[in-house]
């Protein structure tokens, strides 16, 4: 590092920017020098940040100006029995979190599910979305362009899929607001979460359109996708994977494992998850989808900002003979098993534990499997938290496990 003392001086003087070090030094040396620069700027050392296992050269597609890595505690819940279309069998659930009691709570939910024969899980739809934005000169032209898009879907689909082996464009829907036309493109992206894939496709389609049509291209993303924000369109029409997980809980299991009864569960769900959410204007009619989704996303290398999409959805507790049907509906679950952070060392190992790292056989089945596992974990978390609220044990559990 002594040979880089001149570069450090230039960093301190602002003559060189941190990102420019990548063009001047090997990745590891650039990372080390950036960290040293930050330490000198603040007057103390950061030895733990530099002690991670992620090599700077192997994570260029995940981070810029890398100085090290952070660690989050990882716990395992389960196993949980899943009777899904792609996930079948017993699965341990990797949960990365700093919230005490979360893993224990999910573990109790797993026990209730296993005692009831396992979770039944289905994926109702599977399509990533991106909206591209155009502007017309008149409202009449807005309508004409929308009709042109609908009648030329095959040509636009071909252009969008060009050069992509694992992308299939399923639909292009125009939404017109005055002179603005948003084209909401929906596509299957195989085992990738697919945001980059569909963004590139959208740009190809836009470039093709402006060559053929008298229309102004405004943006590669018009926010009608909707990406990383709570939105009714994702709740209703879905984005990513729409997943349902369900289990029939007998009165015996509810009493023995959850320490409550079916009537209390039904009433609590109505008053908290349904009525309370409606009164607050929430689009998440659930107890804490985001808690479990965040912990699973962090452990498996998903895009953490998509936790907000996953927080949308419904928890239902419905009366059946001798018990309840307990279900969760997640309309916008964004997961992938290739790309993004899935190849980072610890995240890769967690995906291996779940048996869904990399591309599936056939392609696309691994991401569907992961979606079913995440939904099952969410189901376990909802069951346990709702039961804790019924028995007034929520604060007690946090006191015991957070100290």
Sorted by where each starts, the structural domains of the chain and their CATH numbers stand as: 38-71 (no CATH), 74-125+240-401 (3.90.770.10), 127-219 (3.30.70.420)
pLDDT at 243: 98
Residue 59: its pLDDT value, please?
A: 73
* Euclidean distance between CA atoms 29 and 25, whole angstroms: 6
Could you write out the DSSP letters of every residue in 276-314? IHHHHT-SEESS-HHHHHHHHHHHHT--GGGHHHHT-EE
Asked whether the predicted pLDDT for residue 129 surpasses 50, the reply is yes
Q: How confident is the model at residue 57 (pLDDT cuts 50, 70, 90)?
A: confident
Out of 22, 227, 303, 382, which one is annotated catalytic?
Answer: 303
In angstroms, the CA 268 to CA 141 distance is 52
> Which pLDDT score is estimated for 2?
46
Say which of 161, 164, 251, 398 is annotated catalytic. Answer: 398
Q: Is residue 397 scored above 70 in pLDDT?
A: no
Q: Which residue has the tokens 């195989």?
A: 190
Query: What would the mean pLDDT of 272-296 be, rounded to a whole number?
Result: 97
Stretch 39-57: mean pLDDT: 89
For residue 132, the surrounding DSSP H or E stretch is strand 119-135
Least confident of 1-15, 210-224, 324-338: 1-15
E strands in 153-233: 168-177, 180-188, 216-219
Kindly tell me if the per-residue pLDDT of 1 is higher than 60.
no
Query: In the prediction, which pLDDT does 395 show?
Result: 62
How far apart CA 110 and CA 180 sit, in angstroms, is 48
Name the catalytic one among 29, 39, 99, 220: 99
Taking the C-alpha atoms of residue 39 and residue 335, their distance in angstroms, rounded to an integer, is: 36
303 in active site = yes
Q: pLDDT tens digits for 65-115?
A: 999 999 999 999 999 999 999 999 999 999 999 999 999 999 999 999 999
Q: What is the mean pLDDT of residues 5-25?
A: 91
| 398 is known as an active-site residue | yes
For residues 225-255, b (16+ Cβ closer than 10 Å) or e, as one string? bbbeeebebbbebbbbbbbbbbbbbbeebbe
Does residue 399 surpass a pLDDT of 90? no
- The residue length of the chain stands at 403
Q: Strand 74-84 relative to strand 119-135: parallel, antiparallel, unpaired?
A: parallel
Name the average pLDDT for the chain.
Answer: 94
Does position 5 have pLDDT exceeding 60, yes or no?
A: yes
Give per-residue pLDDT as tens, 360-383: 999 999 999 999 999 999 999 999
Residue 356 has pLDDT above 90, yes or no: yes
The residue-averaged pLDDT of 351-368 equals: 96
Residue 209 backbone dihedrals phi, psi, to 5 degrees: -65, -45
Distance CA 353, CA 22 (A): 34
Is the CB of residue 383 less than 8 Å from the CB of residue 258? yes
pLDDT digits (tens, 9 = 90+) for 299-340: 999 999 999 999 999 999 999 999 999 999 999 999 999 999
393 belongs to the catalytic site: no
Predicted pLDDT of residue 403: 56
């Amino acid at each position: 590092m002594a040979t880089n003392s001149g570069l450090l001086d230039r960093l301190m003087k602002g003559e060189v920017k941190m990102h420019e070090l990548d063009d001047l030094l090997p990745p590891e040396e650039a990372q080390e020098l950036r960290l040293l620069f930050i330490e000198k700027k603040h007057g103390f050392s950061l030895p733990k940040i530099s002690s991670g296992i992620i090599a700077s050269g192997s994570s260029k597609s995940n981070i810029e100006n890398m100085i090290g890595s952070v660690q989050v505690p990882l716990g395992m819940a389960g196993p949980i029995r899943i009777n899904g279309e792609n996930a079948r069998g017993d699965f341990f659930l990797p949960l990365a979190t700093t919230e005490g009691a979360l893993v224990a709570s999910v573990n109790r939910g797993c026990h209730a599910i296993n005692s009831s024969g396992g979770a039944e899980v289905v994926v109702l739809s599977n399509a990533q979305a991106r909206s591209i934005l155009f502007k017309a000169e008149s409202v009449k032209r807005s309508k004409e362009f929308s009709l042109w898009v609908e009648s030329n879907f095959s040509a636009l689909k071909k252009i969008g899929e060009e050069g992509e082996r694992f992308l299939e464009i399923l639909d292009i829907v125009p939404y017109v607001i005055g002179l603005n036309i948003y084209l909401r493109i929906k596509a299957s992206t195989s085992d990738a979460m697919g945001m980059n894939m569909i963004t590139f496709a959208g740009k190809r389609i836009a470039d093709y359109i402006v060559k053929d049509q008298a229309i102004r291209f405004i943006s590669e993303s018009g926010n009608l996708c909707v990406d990383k924000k709570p939105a009714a369109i994702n709740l209703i029409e879905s984005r990513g994977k729409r997943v349902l997980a369900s289990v029939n809980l007998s009165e015996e299991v509810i009493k023995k494992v959850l320490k409550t009864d079916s009537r209390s569960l039904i009433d609590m769900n109505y008053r908290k998850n349904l009525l309370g959410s409606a009164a607050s204007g929430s689009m998440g009619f659930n107890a804490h989808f985001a808690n479990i989704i965040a912990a699973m996303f962090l452990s498996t290398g998903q895009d953490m900002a998509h936790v907000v999409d996953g927080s949308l959805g419904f928890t239902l507790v419905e009366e059946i003979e001798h018990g309840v049907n307990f279900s969760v509906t997640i309309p916008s679950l964004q997961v992938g098993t290739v790309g993004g952070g899935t190849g980072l060392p610890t995240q890769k190992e967690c995906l291996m534990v779940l048996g869904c790292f990399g591309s599936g056989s056939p392609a696309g089945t691994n991401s569907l499997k992961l979606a079913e596992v995440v939904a099952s974990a969410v189901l376990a978390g909802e069951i346990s938290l709702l039961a804790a609220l019924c028995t007034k044990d929520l604060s007690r559990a946090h006191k015991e496990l957070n100290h």
